[in-house]
């Protein structure tokens, strides 16, 4: 991230009124360097401006947030800001390379706080969505030969996140640093990312898709 007092942002959503609302909610700590109304515009803006953070709607023309995350997720921090709380959408976003997933009903103060953390590379998602991730790993553990199971500590951390605790609060409960909590969440999302990729490859092979 750049050594400035604000976070540079590319804001991508196909509704101009919504972009204006988010821009207003972000406040002075964030500097929107470009806006985009579809996936291709977003990718071009990201490549041009190299922002600290991309705030991206899941459903946009030309591939939506998933295409943006797949194309740019290795190079920048991408947070999906969406109306969808569907498990499949969350899992697909993580698998594509997003490091955050927040719903559009998130209050402005909380939104700013979460996006600031995401700009530092910290994985962020709402408590309800943490519960979905936990459920996904429970399903994975029941499948014979499931890859990348959670450790006991990772499961413990995720349960706290699902209850709405901050990384600082979780660290105090478990006697570890907030940074260690963040690393556990990052590892959890990494395992989920790898597992989703393996699932897709397995599905393709089983269905004869090259």
CATH 3.40.50.2300 in the chain: give the residue spans.
1-123
Q: Is the pLDDT reported for residue 141 higher than 90?
A: no
Element of type H or E holding 31: strand 30-36
Integer Cα distance of 5 and 29 in angstroms = 7
Choose the weakest-confidence range: 19-23, 93-97, 189-193. 189-193
Token representation of residue 137: 């790993």
CATH 1.10.10.10 in the chain: give the residue spans.
126-210
pLDDT digits (tens, 9 = 90+) for 147-204: 567 888 998 998 898 888 888 999 999 999 999 999 998 888 888 776 666 665 665 6
CA distances from 146 to 4, 127, 150, 173, 195 (A): 44, 25, 11, 30, 8
Q: Which of the following CATH numbers is that of domain 1-123: 3.40.50.720, 3.90.1570.10, 3.40.50.2300, 3.40.50.1100?
A: 3.40.50.2300
Q: Which of the following CATH numbers is that of domain 126-210: 1.20.910.10, 3.40.1390.10, 2.60.40.3950, 1.10.10.10?
A: 1.10.10.10
Model's pTM, two decimal places?
Answer: 0.80
Token representation of residue 125: 């998602």
């Amino acid at each position: 991230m750049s050594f400035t007092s604000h976070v540079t942002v590319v804001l991508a959503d196909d509704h101009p009124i919504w972009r204006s609302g988010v821009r207003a909610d972000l406040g002075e700590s964030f500097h929107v360097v470009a806006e985009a109304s579809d996936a291709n515009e977003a990718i071009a803006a990201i490549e041009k401006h190299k922002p600290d953070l991309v705030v991206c709607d899941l459903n946009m023309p030309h591939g939506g947030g998933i295409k943006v995350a797949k194309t740019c997720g290795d190079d920048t921090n991408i947070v999906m800001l969406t109306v969808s709380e569907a498990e499949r959408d969350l899992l697909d976003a993580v698998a594509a390379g997003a490091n955050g997933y927040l719903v559009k009903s998130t209050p402005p103060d909380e939104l700013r706080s979460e996006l600031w953390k995401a700009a530092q590379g910290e994985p962020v998602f709402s408590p309800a969505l943490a519960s979905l991730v936990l459920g996904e790993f429970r399903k994975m553990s029941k499948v014979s030969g499931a890859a990348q199971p959670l450790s006991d500590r990772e499961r413990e951390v995720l349960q706290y996140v699902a209850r709405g605790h901050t990384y600082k609060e979780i660290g105090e409960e478990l006697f570890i640093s907030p940074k260690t909590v963040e690393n556990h969440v990052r590892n959890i999302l990494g395992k989920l990312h790898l597992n989703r990729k393996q699932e897709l490859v397995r599905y393709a092979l089983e269905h004869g898709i090259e």
